[in-house]
Structure 1
Amino acid sequence: MDPSQWIAIGIAVTLALLLVFAIRWVLKNKLAKAWRVADYVVARTRVSGYTAAAVVGANLALPERQDVPWSTYQVIEHAMQILMIGSLTALGISLAHAVTDMVLARLSVANGDADRKARRLQTQVRLLRRVITSIIVVLAIASILFTFDSVRALGAGLLASAGIIGIVAGVAAQSTLSNLFAGLQLAFSDALRIGDVVVVEGEWGRVEELSLVNVTIKIWDERRLVVPVANFTTTSFENWTKQGTAITAKVMLPLDWEVPIAELREEAGRLITSSSNWDGRSWSCQVVDVTQTGEVIVRVVATAADTGTQWDIACEIREHLIGWLVAHYPESLPRSRTEFVSGDDDASYATQFPTSAFRRREPNGVTGPPGGDPGES
């Protein structure tokens, strides 16, 4: 190529880059206040905008076919086709992400636990963005491949046997496709949303990310549990925020039989009704079971607005009632009783309860010893 042609390409690329710089400056400093998406466009197109501008500028300044040898022109034209497809695809994806970023930012403002609609839309937007981006990338790669003559010739034969290839590809990508459709099913059936509080495989956490393949659960201790999307459509899981965030805290206290239930209930009520973690709906304190080891099970429940306050009020109830029982009714704490009976005590016990007292009356009216034959008189 002639040096003047290289200079022309350089000037065209420089002008294109300056134009993009000017557009970005206007978006950031003049239009950002009136047009909210401007900030997101500037942030997302930091690389793709300049890249696309450089490629377009170079493409516009390419020499004519008669100005360079035919072989050189073919190489340059083919390279520019690939660069144009790649750069414009990246720019289009960046602009689409900028628009969805603005939508997600608006949803995040009202994306508290109680705003189920906002979290559902946020999940759907994120998942659709991933699906559309994947489709665009696949189409762009296919377009680049079809710029090669050998691939284009092969493509005609492949289209003729598309049915067989589709079956083979479907079998090979069965797991990927099942995860893809499972993710769409979760997002649009409102079964799972970003920000939901769930219990999966015995772990409590929040849905941090829902992709086309996996669901990332942020566990309370900062670990991440990565679960295939298909698992959520084939196995059961707990969703604590499916219909709302209101939840009930439960505290189980194994206590001795001497526990003063009325006083305990009064103290529990005083604590719960004065707690800032109680949402004011309901509370109770009841004896719900008696264990085989000789303990009574007292259950204290209190409603809370969300899972965070539910955990706090449960710990508050447990800590306060334990301290209160230790200070005022230590005999109420769980204990094991063992009674030792000496030989004299055993004889006295037998005198108080003679053998006849332990005889049982049979249906025919005959009184017999325990375990004896009913037919014996």
Structure 2
Amino acid sequence: MPDLNALIGRAASVLAYLPWWAESLIVIVACCAVVMPLHGVAYRALKRAVASKSLFWRSLVSRTHGPSRLGLIVVAISIASTTVHLSWEVRIALNQILLVAFVTLTGWCCATALHIATVIYLRRFKLDAEDNLLARKHFTQMRILERAAVTLVGLITVSVALMTFEPVRQYGVSLLASAGAAGLILGLAMQPVLSNLVAGIQIAITQPIRIEDAVIVENEWGWVEEITSTYVVVRLWDWRRLVLPLTYFIQKPFQNWTRDGASLIGSVFLYVDHRAPVAQMREKLSEIAAATPLWDGKVVNLQVSDAKESTMEVRMLVSARNAPQAWDLRCVIREAMITWLQAEHPEALPRHRTEWVGSEEPGLRRADGQRIAA
């Protein structure tokens, strides 16, 4: 078996005849080839170590497999760069690239940890539950705060990466010292972005809207589907999407049907003749509501809300568990009541009356002049 020292000496003599860049490339590739299996062994050992830990640590280790491997490669290249013959300029540039890469990987891991913590926290809440008010509250808060935190992590990461460049740091200091007007112009230019960020924080704290809230905005009815750091996506009833800036929900009025709860009272209006049996209609409304599972069993009422010269306005109130069921219940009540009136009380349907005044009604005449009896 050949001597190991002899092999190393022979390899060093071969590398001595190569250009500096080829020598550096071979050494860096060799270090990376050694690091990869080491990372695999260390990663498997770490997974076994956190197997009994909480879900957060298990997920964090699983999700940071790629960043940790890249970080170990960065460390290996940094160590290898000290053993090869590089010019001063190349060594400085390589160290700068490695430092920026390490800062970026750190920010990446922090953003991943924030996302994992948010997902684990929200797993205890179900948006598809019947009474999902608490779930919508926490989903809205955590999603907005997560985006704000990730944005902050990104800004800090970029700032730290730029601070590693000496020329950029000097320019930043000089601009900070003499950029009063420039700062004012920049602030004015970023006013829409900053106002939306502030509005997002206000929405997360005060919560005028939440995820899956039923709202009416711009005369359109739908549900809040997504709240980002700058805009809100409303899923309309016909599957269209209405995109509005965050400031809209701070500065303009809108209707929120599920602000304090999902239950709603739906109203149904009918216009009937004055001879309509109101008492029987009230009993029939209770019967129809009790026969449908859409009614939550809380509110059912019928009142004559107005009377005009030819019709009566009858208002029926029924309650449901949420907005879609309230809409369907209103349609069921309207159809069933009209069908019942047509079958049982046709005289209650609205009609127009005409009365002839005088001793001789003009009546209608045929073509030969004979009068047609009314």
- Give the TM-score range, shorter chain: 0.7 to 0.9
Deviates more, 1:309-318 or 1:53-62: 53-62
1:102 Cα deviation from its structure 2 partner: 1.4
How many residues are aligned here?
343
CA RMSD of aligned residues (A): 2.8
* Residue segments in structure 1 that go unaligned for 5+ positions in a row: 347-377
Letter of the structure 1 residue corresponding to residue 54 of structure 2: W
Letter of the structure 1 residue corresponding to residue 173 of structure 2: A
CA distance in 1, matches of 2:68, 2:308: 71
CA distance in 2, matches of 1:331, 1:195: 45
Identity across the alignment (%): 32
Deviates more, 1:139-148 or 1:246-255: 139-148
Residue aligning to 2:177: 160
Deviates more, 1:229-238 or 1:38-47: 38-47
CA distance in 1, matches of 2:235, 2:66: 31
Give CA-to-partner distance per residue, 1:94-145, whole Å, 9 cap, x none: 22212222112233x3663634333222212111111121122122223333
Among candidates 36, 45, 67, match of residue 55 of structure 2: 36
Residue aligning to 1:85: 103
- Asked if structure 1 preserves the Cα contact closer than 8 Å seen for 2:285 and 2:300, the reply is no
Please state if 1:96 is matched with 2:114: yes
- Asked if structure 2 preserves the Cα contact closer than 8 Å seen for 1:111 and 1:118, the reply is no
Residue aligning to 1:362: none
1:28 Cα deviation from its structure 2 partner: 7.2
SS in 2 for 1:61: helix
1:51 Cα deviation from its structure 2 partner: 3.6
TM-score, structure 2 as length reference: 0.81
Among candidates 33, 57, 63, match of residue 82 of structure 2: 63
Letter of the structure 1 residue corresponding to residue 114 of structure 2: A
CA distance in 2, matches of 1:163, 1:68: 43
Q: 1:204 to 1:15 in 2, by over 3 A?
A: farther
Residue aligning to 2:94: 76
Letter of the structure 2 residue corresponding to residue 314 of structure 1: R
CA distance in 1, matches of 2:148, 2:165: 27
- Asked if structure 2 preserves the Cα contact closer than 8 Å seen for 1:111 and 1:119, the reply is no
Residue aligning to 1:132: 149
- Asked if structure 2 preserves the Cα contact closer than 8 Å seen for 1:193 and 1:207, the reply is yes
TM-score, structure 1 as length reference: 0.80
* Residue segments in structure 2 that go unaligned for 5+ positions in a row: 1-19, 363-374
Residue aligning to 2:326: 310
Please state if 1:323 is matched with 2:323: no
Give CA-to-partner distance per residue, 1:173-204, whole Å, 9 cap, x none: 11111111111111101222112111111111
Q: 1:18 to 1:286 in 2, by over 3 A?
A: farther
- Asked if structure 2 preserves the Cα contact closer than 8 Å seen for 1:295 and 1:334, the reply is yes
CA distance in 2, matches of 1:257, 1:29: 81
Q: 1:69 to 1:158 in 2, by over 3 A?
A: same
1:46 Cα deviation from its structure 2 partner: 6.0
CA distance in 1, matches of 2:321, 2:62: 37
